[in-house]
Amino acid sequence: MDLSIVIVTWNVRDLLENCLASIYRETRGISFEVFVIDNGSKDGTAQMVSSKFPTVKLIRNTENKGFSYSNNLGIRKSKGRFILLLNPDTLIFRDTFLDTLIFMEHHPECGIAGIHLLNRDYTHQDSVRRFPKFLDQALILLKLHLVFSQSRAMQRYVEKDFDYLVDEYGEDKGEKNFEEVNQVMGAYFMVRREVFQKIGLLDERFFVWMEEVDFCKRAYDAGFKIYYTRDAKAMHYYGAAFKQISSLRKQMIFAHSIRRYFIKHHGIAQYALIAFLSWISVALAAVIQITRAKERRNVTKSYIRKEKEYI
């Protein structure tokens, strides 16, 4: 088996259907299997997969178990030489998988590969970052990363000057087709099986966010290379499932994940500072959510009052 594709999904039935259709429509020249792990969706996801894609290996969780836990369910059952963690809000193009596999075969030192991701309008989507450090994450937690977007810390973290090896129209430029990076976006995250065998699976203490960053850091520390390649392309709708979660809940999850990352990779002193800032970030998110809720209620009351006056 060449490739095992693992997709974790939650209440994005239509996007998942399009993703699976693109996989079976555009893939050729390789042997592959597809696992869909449904995290307790309420929108008929499991029924759609069972009826329209009977060859997909469906795993149903009764509730949302998180990204790491659910991906690991598929990884444990997989048989491919390579495992692809794929988001359900992606679309695959002709030979996307084949081109990625060929690249990794030509680069045996590569443990993890990401590819050129496109927005729905076919424009380029950034997908590479450096490993987190204290200052850039402090700015993000305090909602200052936009104010200080041109700071050295943020420019470093988001790889502002990274060469994606494509021009402004998304076309290939130059001879070089890959770059070594710290981390690639988890939307399309291809892993050589030997990496899992050496460093283990995803850390299930990360519910979502930072789990792939942690995995990349562990792979990097174990001597594997992490590459971005322009040789393959996919479309990514970006954050579809997260739109279902409130801002406060998202901030709480992110705060937990960044604390977990720092205690693992940066020691107790930086962890303590990040933990303090993370709780400030949650408090800020709570204030913002309460303020916005009041504003919506005031708008609604004003609308009702005007309607009554009109009647």
For 109-148, write each residue's pLDDT tens digit. 999 999 999 999 999 999 999 999 999 999 999 999 989 9
pLDDT in tens, 186-224: 999 999 999 999 999 999 999 999 999 999 999 999 999
Residues 6 or more apart whose Cβ sits within 8 Å of residue 255:
141, 278, 279, 281, 282
Q: What are phi and psi of 105, to 5 degrees?
A: -65, -35
Considering the chain, what percentage of its residues have pLDDT values greater than 90? 81
Do residues 19 and 90 touch, judged by C-beta distance below 8 A? yes
Helices (H), 78-133: 96-106
pLDDT band at 176 (very low <50, low <70, confident <90, very high): confident
Q: What is the mean pLDDT of the chain?
A: 92
168 pLDDT band (50/70/90 cuts)?
confident
What CA–CA distance (Å, rounded) separates 51 from 44?
Answer: 11
pLDDT in tens, 36-63: 999 999 999 999 999 999 999 999 999 9
**Phi/psi of residue 150, each to 5°?**
-95, 5
Alpha carbon distance 106, 4 (integer Å): 19
Give Cα separations from 270 to 10, 104, 251, 258 (angstroms): 34, 36, 19, 11
d(CA 69, CA 87): 15
Tell me what percent of the residues of the chain surpass a pLDDT of 70.
93
Contact 33, 79 (CB under 8 A): yes
Confidence band (pLDDT; 50, 70, 90) for 157? very high
Q: Which residues of 201-228 are buried (b: 16+ CB within 10 A; e: fewer)?
A: ebbeebbbbbbbbbbbbbbbeeebbbbb
Q: What is the pTM of this model?
A: 0.91
What CA–CA distances, in Å, run from 98 to 2, 19, 233? 9, 17, 11
CA gap 284, 278 in Å, rounded: 10
Q: How far is residue 33's CA from residue 75's CA, in Å, rounded to a whole number?
A: 11
* Domains along the sequence of the chain with CATH: 3-126+162-242 (3.90.550.10)
Is residue 23 within 8 Å of residue 34, measured between CB atoms?
A: yes
